[in-house]
């Protein structure tokens, strides 16, 4: 999607507009330069947009460490605002297409079984961490099922069981590990081991309606293959290809393509590092000015269970079912 330097007609303020331009500029630099790119302008613009990110350590000139997930969420929400020129047109909302998850929420009143339904949207899927959570799937289940208390019209409290089901899948699924808890007014990092897969199937977390759509599409492709048509593999594009922009829908399968690790005891201290999957299956960690290659098993070992860097956020990319094998390339914002 093209984003001109001087935008008219949307509700974005100057700070949001400037941050969008700075994001556009740094991606253009990364696309066209063979040299290391210093994100100085982007960081300056981000700090001007969010006063919290301008905080410094005491009387020093050293900027205070900030939570990577808070930074990510602010940037995605800003781009969602500035790049949504026509709210009624899905094609004019690229950030929502890329990252937004829609949930069907059902609240069931335990006393009489009354049920209410509503739709909610978010840009990431939580994975809380507790003694009962042994891996990512169990964490997602815990996130999607909870007990809540509501106040009735008569002023009395009522206990509800709340269940979320994914009703619309994004192209990119962001997983946020709940590694931070607050004890005695202080934040503490939970370092428990939570394994995560290279391939994630989220079908069991989807609404009945979405499950039916996914299964119907899969059966249709299998039927075409059995009749001598194009193979199923030809229709389900791997995560290493560019996303389809027309005639496509996400399957329930996702491949891990990036993650952010954190090494430290609190989200506002320590060190964050980005890890990105490369063509050929190897991975690269980007640690400030240094880039180091890794094998897949190195990435899976970042699941926690001790000191050192561990996964804080995971980015999964959907495998797409496409009616047309041609996959347009569209990167510019």
Angstrom distance (rounded) from CA 226 to CA 213: 20
Averaged confidence pLDDT in the chain:
83
pLDDT digits (tens, 9 = 90+) for 174-189: 999 999 888 888 888 9
User: How far apart (Å, rounded) are the C-alpha atoms in residues 122 and 171?
Assistant: 13
Cα(98)–Cα(317) distance, integer angstroms: 10
Least confident of 98-107, 128-137, 216-225, 255-264: 216-225
By CB neighbour count within 10 A (0-12 exposed, 13-18 middle, 19+ buried), where does 152 fall? exposed
Confidence at residue 58, expressed as pLDDT on a 0 to 100 scale = 87
Answer with the residue of higher pLDDT: 136 or 265.
136
Give the pLDDT confidence score for residue 271 in this predicted structure: 92
**Is residue 47 pLDDT above 50, yes or no?**
yes
pLDDT tens per residue, range 200-246:
999 999 999 999 988 877 665 555 555 555 444 444 554 333 334 43
128: which residues sit within 8 A by CB, 6+ positions away? 139, 142, 143, 178
What are the b/e assignments for 2-15, b being 16+ CB within 10 Å? Answer: ebeeeeeeeebeee
Mean pLDDT of 79-95: 72
Higher local confidence (pLDDT), 333 or 200? 200
pLDDT over 70 at 57, yes or no:
yes
Alpha carbons 333 and 328: distance in angstroms, whole number: 15
State the residue for tokens 């949001």. 16
User: What percent of the chain has a predicted confidence (pLDDT) above 70?
Assistant: 81
Domain edges within the chain: 1-96
Closest of 214, 310, 186, 225 to residue 259, by C-alpha: 310
Name the band, by pLDDT with cuts 50, 70 and 90, for residue 121. Answer: very high
- At 291 the pLDDT is 92
């Amino acid at each position: 999607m093209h984003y001109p330097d001087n935008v008219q007609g949307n509700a974005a303020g100057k700070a949001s507009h400037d941050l969008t331009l700075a994001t556009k500029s740094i991606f253009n630099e990364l696309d066209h330069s063979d040299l290391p790119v210093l994100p100085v302008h982007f960081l300056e613009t981000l700090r001007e947009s969010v006063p919290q990110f301008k905080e410094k350590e005491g009387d020093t000139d050293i900027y205070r460490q900030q939570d990577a997930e808070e930074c990510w969420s602010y940037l995605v929400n800003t781009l969602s605002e500035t790049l949504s020129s026509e709210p009624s047109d899905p094609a004019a909302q690229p950030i929502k297409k890329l990252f937004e998850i829609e949930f069907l929420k059902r609240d069931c009143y335990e006393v009489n079984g009354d049920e209410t339904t509503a739709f909610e949207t978010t840009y990431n899927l939580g994975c809380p961490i507790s003694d009962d959570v042994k891996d990512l799937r169990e964490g997602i289940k815990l996130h999607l099922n909870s007990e809540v208390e509501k106040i009735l019209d008569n002023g009395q409290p009522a206990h509800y069981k709340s269940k979320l089901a994914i009703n619309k899948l994004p192209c990119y699924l962001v997983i946020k590990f709940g590694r931070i808890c607050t004890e005695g007014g202080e934040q503490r990092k939970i370092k428990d081991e939570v394994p995560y897969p290279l391939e994630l199937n989220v079908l069991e977390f989807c609404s009945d309606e979405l499950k039916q759509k996914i299964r119907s599409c899969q059966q249709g492709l299998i039927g075409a293959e059995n009749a001598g048509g194009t193979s199923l593999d030809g229709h389900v594009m791997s995560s290493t290809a560019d996303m389809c922009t027309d005639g496509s829908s996400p399957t329930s399968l996702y491949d891990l393509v990036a993650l952010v690790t954190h090494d430290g005891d609190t989200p506002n201290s320590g060190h964050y590092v980005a890890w990105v999957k490369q063509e050929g299956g190897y991975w690269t960690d980007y640690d400030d000015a240094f880039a180091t290659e890794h094998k897949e098993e190195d990435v899976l070992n970042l699941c926690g269970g001790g000191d050192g860097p561990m996964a804080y956020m995971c980015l999964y990319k959907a495998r797409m079912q496409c009616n047309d094998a041609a996959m347009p390339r569209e990167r510019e914002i």
